[in-house]
Every structure is written in C-alpha cells, then in structure tokens.
C-alpha cells in the first residue's frame, strides 16, 4: 500500500495504541538475549497505521520479538519518503515501505536499501478506482483526460491506474493525477475536486456506503497479486547489525504466518493501532500477507516501473533482498 501499501505513502490519521508491555523487554541480560549475541537489542521501526502493518503489531503483542531478545520501538511515519530519510539518517533501523517508493529511491541514487521481510500484497477489492454515484464515468476508458486522486504521485496506486488504463486502450497523462491524502479522498470526490480516486480501505467502504461506484479493481490482469509493501533497511544497517536483523526477521515471520492463515487475527488487531473500528475491520477488503520475499514477485514491480518510465535503469531486485538467516 511506494508498502505499501500502499508505498504506499498513506495519510491515514491514526496513532499506535501500544503499551509499554507490548513493546517487549529491553533487559539485555535476560536468558533469551544473553546467548544470541545480538549487536543491539533495541530496534526503532517505522510503521504506518494501515492494514499492511498488522504483522508487526501481532509480533509485538504476542512476544515474538521479546523471545528473540529484541525490543521493538514503533514510530509512526507519514510515509515511505519520510521513512527513507530517517533510515538514511540513522533515526530508524527498519521501516515499512512501499516497493515502488523504495525502488524509485534506489534508482535515483538516494541510498542503497535491503528488504528484510515482505508485509502486504494485492488481493481482490483492496485497491480500486472509484467514482461517485452520479458520475458519467462508467468504464476505465472513460478516464481519459479525467483527474484521478492518488495518495502520492508516482506511487503504486498511480502505477496500477496507468496499467489498467493502458489495458483499456487509454494513455494516461501525468497531469491528470492529483495528490490527495486517503482520508481526504471521499470529500474530494463528492465535491468534484477530482473525477475519480485510486482508493484503499477503509475509504473504499466509506465511499461505497455513500453510493460510490468501483469502475475497476487495480490489481487485475498485469497487476494481479502485485507486491505492495515490505520491511526495509539500509545496506549499512544490515551489514552492521546482521544478527539483530535476523532476529527481527524470525519474529516477524512468525506473525506473518499467523495473519496469512487467519483473517480474524487482523480484524482483532486493526482497532488497536488504527482508527479502523471493529465493525469496519470485519467487512473491509484486505490484501494478502505473503510469508516470504519472492525475487520473481518483486521483479514484476521493478519491470512495470521501467516499462512505464518510473525508473530509468534496469533494477535487479535480488540485490535488494536480504535472505533470512539459516539459524
């Protein structure tokens, strides 16, 4: 959900509802940490209060990080661009980030990055283009020359919108995309500031309840099952703290396995760190929670970005994936 989700730079107004106990135990002399030789036992992790981050919250609450001798200190970031700067500056160790945004930063030479774990992928109904009830726009082809709100320009939402328009025989132009925070999209659509929005949950549900219509699922055809966001760090941090990063991977992997198999866990977790209430969490469309970083899946994102002019160079994503530790 730039992940991603979205890359997801998302303006959902929310705060983490984490207690001190949920953040783990910082006692580095505990039996769980004394024998593993971690280079550091506290990791500052950038997170966004959206469904993409659910596995991190689950891993904190269930003590998976604590069992590895880690204390994870979550910090809400406004989006991938902010997270990237904090990672490069050293104030964050790891962050959630949309693949599109990180690949853009790597291509531009902003830094060298490593993805340590996947987090969120596309699924039916989780990323759509919508119009208001009385809009004359009926199909994707009708989007020619129309303004479309995206959370961040050159994001996964814009990329997938461009792909769907091309499939419909329409060439998108850069000036028809308008940057709007996700929470502002329902009003912008209703009052005519934009003709359509590239939306995510829970705003898809909000707009649908007001009579809004979905004209296309952005994650179909060439973008089906597209990776959205994962947890990334810098090359420098990965090299400096390999055992700590490996411990993070193991703990998060346990949570990822749980949420991938049981939607109920996500539904119960969302109200704890987002503004999504329990009733909404039970009905919204969720993306997928992949349990491993797949080179071939991530390469699809980079290849689409090259095809649509988002990046100038061929990007070999294998060099940006940090395999899990064998231990």
CATH of the domain at 273: 3.40.190.10
Mean pLDDT, residues 179-206: 95
3-state SS of the chain is CCCCCCCCCCCCCCCCCCCCCCCCCCCCCCHHHHCCCCCCCEEEEEECCCHHHHHHHHHHHCCHHHHCCCEEEEEECCCHHHHHHHHHHCCCCEEEEEHHHHHHHHHCCCCCEEEEEEEEECCCCCEEEEECCCCCCCCHHHHCCCCEEECCCCCHHHHHHHHHHHHCCCCCCHHHEEECCHHHHHHHHHCCCCCEEEEECCHHHHHHHCCCEEEEECCCHHHCCCEEEEEEEEHHHHHHCHHHHHHHHHHHHHHHHHHHHCHHHHHHHHHHHCCCCHHHHCCCCCCECCCCCCHHHHHHHHHHHHHCCCCCCCCCHHHHECCCCCC
Banded model confidence at residue 286, pLDDT cuts 50, 70, 90: very high
Of the two residues 115 and 33, the one the predictor is more confident about is 115
Domain stop point among 171, 189, 223? 223
105 and 143 part of one domain? no
pTM across the whole model: 0.85
76 and 53 part of one domain? yes
213 and 234 part of one domain? no
pLDDT beyond 60 at 2? no
Does the residue 5 lie in any domain? no
Does the residue 202 lie in any domain? yes
Does the residue 25 lie in any domain? no
Q: What is the pLDDT of residues 26-47, one digit of tens each?
A: 333 333 334 469 999 999 999 9
147 and 233 part of one domain? no
Domain stop point among 223, 246, 277? 223
Banded model confidence at residue 11, pLDDT cuts 50, 70, 90: very low
147 and 102 part of one domain? no
Per-residue pLDDT at 327: 55
Task: Please state, rounded to an integer, the average pLDDT across all residues of the chain.
Answer: 89
218 and 231 part of one domain? no
230 and 218 part of one domain? no
* 199 bridge partner residues: 128
If one counts the domains in the chain, the total is 2
pLDDT beyond 50 at 139? yes
Per-residue pLDDT at 80: 79
Per-residue pLDDT at 326: 58
Domain stop point among 167, 192, 223? 223
pLDDT beyond 50 at 54? yes
Mean pLDDT, residues 197-222: 95
Does the residue 3 lie in any domain? no
């Amino acid at each position: 959900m730039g992940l991603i989700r979205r890359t997801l730079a998302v303006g959902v107004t929310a705060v983490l509802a984490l207690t001190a106990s949920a953040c783990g135990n910082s006692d580095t002399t505990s039996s769980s940490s004394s024998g593993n030789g971690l280079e550091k036992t506290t990791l500052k992790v950038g997170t966004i209060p959206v469904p993409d981050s659910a596995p991190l919250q689950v891993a904190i609450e269930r003590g998976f990080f604590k069992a590895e001798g880690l204390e994870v200190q979550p910090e809400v970031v406004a989006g991938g661009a902010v997270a990237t700067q904090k990672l490069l500056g050293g104030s964050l160790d790891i962050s959630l980030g949309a693949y599109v945004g990180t690949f853009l930063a790597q291509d531009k030479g902003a830094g060298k990055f490593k993805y340590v774990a996947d987090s969120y992928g596309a699924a039916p109904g989780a990323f759509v283009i919508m119009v208001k009830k009385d809009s004359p726009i009926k199909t994707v082809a009708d989007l020619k020359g129309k303004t479309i709100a995206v959370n961040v320009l050159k994001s996964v939402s814009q990329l997938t919108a461009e792909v769907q328009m091309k499939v419909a025989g329409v060439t998108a132009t850069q000036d028809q995309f308008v940057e709007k925070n996700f929470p502002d999209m329902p009003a912008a659509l209703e009052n005519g500031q934009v003709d359509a929005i590239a939306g995510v949950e829970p705003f898809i549900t909000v707009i649908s309840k007001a009579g809004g219509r979905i004209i296309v699922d952005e994650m179909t055809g060439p973008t089906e099952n597209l990776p959205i966001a994962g947890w990334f760090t810098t090359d420098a941090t990965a090299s400096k703290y390999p055992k700590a990063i490996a411990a993070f991977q193991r703990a998060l992997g346990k949570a990822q396995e749980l949420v991938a198999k049981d939607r109920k866990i996500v539904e119960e977790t969302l109200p704890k760190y987002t503004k999504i209430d329990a009733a909404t969490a039970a009905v919204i469309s969720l993306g997928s929670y992949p349990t491993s970083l797949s080179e071939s899946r991530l390469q699809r994102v980079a290849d689409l970005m090259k095809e649509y002019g988002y990046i100038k160079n061929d990007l070999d994503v294998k060099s940006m994936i940090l395999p899990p530790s064998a231990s």
